[in-house]
Amino acid sequence: MKVPIRWLKDYVDFDLSLGALVNRLALAGLEVSGINHWGLPAPEGLRLGAEDPYPVWDKDKIIIGLVTKVDKHPDADRLKLPTVEYGSGRSITMVTGAPNLSVGDTGQKVILALSGSVLFDGHATPKVLKELKPGKIRGITSDGMVCSGFELGISEDHDGIIILEDDAPIGMPLADYFGDSIIEIDILPNKARCLSMIGVAREVAAMTGGKLKPFEHKPHTFGPAITGKVNVVIQDTSACHRYTASLIENIKVAPSPAFLKRRLHQSGMRP
């Protein structure tokens, strides 16, 4: 089971280094078989490091930006020129071919990599880390880039750039926003209670004395009564004392929120 540390801390407070947490989990019968890092450097002395090279997100160069305009490239139909503000009045215009950014767009929160950033090369197979350098693309100087998940090392998707939540803070280093370490735990049959984030959080709380944050979910119901639309009949009230039903209508199929996509990716799933 893959456990992102940021997600785990939503449910339990603990003050252990990553290495100490790995060791305590092992003593509790929860062996950590691997660790992946999203943009963070691997802690020194940690016995389980990342097997393959990965991008470490430079806090001065890989940051959150706001798209203020997108112009058409004068010499290429498929290329665009987004201008991105990244805090304190600073902005930069670059070249991109991202299909999910269109001429005339404005207001999207994106991940900006400035010259000198080290990322995965989106055009190389197998994966290779490459330093981003200024260059001219069809006659236009590009001194940065807006990033896909592939280039950042967090997914295999490089068909489009990452669009962040509307409340993502402009100018914040990406490593501070959602940099993370993900531990992979081998769950044995006698530890089936740990096959969920809350289950692992309970275990961590028990072995560290950390405060467990209660998981509260209160469903909100609204709309007209469903009388006449759904008919519930309890044939044996001694076997079933109570049964409730809800009717959900007008469901809109849409992409998952950005934060949920990240957590699914970190957990080894594709949203």
Specify the number of domains making up the chain: 2
Q: Could you tell me the CATH number of the domain that includes residue 143?
A: 2.40.50.140
Residue 123 has pLDDT above 90, yes or no: no
User: Which residue type occupies 230?
Assistant: V
> 163 with 112, same domain?
yes
Residues 182-195 have pLDDT tens digits of 999 999 999 999 99
Give the pLDDT score at 49. 58
Name the residue among 127, 129, 151, 160 with its Cα closest to residue 62. Answer: 151
> 84 with 126, same domain?
yes
Least confident of 4-8, 136-140, 213-217: 213-217
Residues 15-28 have pLDDT tens digits of 999 999 999 999 99
Q: Could you tell me the CATH number of the domain that includes residue 201?
A: 3.30.56.10
> 72 with 48, same domain?
no
> 86 with 189, same domain?
no
41 inside domain? yes
Question: What is the C-alpha to C-alpha distance for residues 12 and 4, in angstroms, rounded to an integer?
Answer: 13
> 73 with 135, same domain?
yes
Residue 50 has pLDDT above 60, yes or no: no
More confident call, 117 vs 232: 117
Indicate the helix (H) or strand (E) that contains 253. none
What is the pLDDT averaged over residues 135-155? Answer: 91
> 142 with 75, same domain?
yes
CB under 8 Å, gap of 24 or more: what pairs does 114-119 form? 114/60, 114/61, 114/62, 114/63, 114/143, 114/144, 115/61, 115/143, 115/144, 116/58, 116/61, 117/57, 117/58, 117/61, 117/62, 118/55, 118/56, 118/58, 119/55, 119/62, 119/147, 119/151, 119/152, 119/153
Give the pLDDT score at 21. 94
Give the pLDDT score at 74. 92
Name the residue among 122, 121, 65 with its Cα closest to residue 94. Answer: 65
Name the residue among 171, 39, 179, 40 with its Cα closest to residue 112. Answer: 171
13 inside domain? yes
Residue 48 banded pLDDT, cuts 50, 70, 90:
low
Residue 206 has pLDDT above 60, yes or no: yes
> 171 with 79, same domain?
yes
98 inside domain? yes
Give the pLDDT score at 92. 96
Instruction: Map tokens 């004068």 to a residue.
Output: 74
> 201 with 165, same domain?
no
Domain that holds residue 106: 62-177
137 inside domain? yes
220 inside domain? no
224 inside domain? no
CB 16 within 8 A of CB 46: no
101 inside domain? yes
The gap between the terminal CA atoms of the chain, to the nearest Å, is 17
Residue 193, φ and ψ in degrees, nearest 5: -65, -15
80 inside domain? yes
If 0-12 CB within 10 Å is exposed, 13-18 middle and 19+ buried, where does residue 227 land?
Answer: exposed
What is the pLDDT averaged over residues 129-158? Answer: 91
Residue 256 banded pLDDT, cuts 50, 70, 90:
confident
Least confident of 118-132, 185-199, 211-225: 211-225
Residues 31-41 have pLDDT tens digits of 999 898 999 99
User: Which residue type occupies 259?
Assistant: F
Question: What is the C-alpha to C-alpha distance for residues 80 and 57, in angstroms, rounded to an integer?
Answer: 25
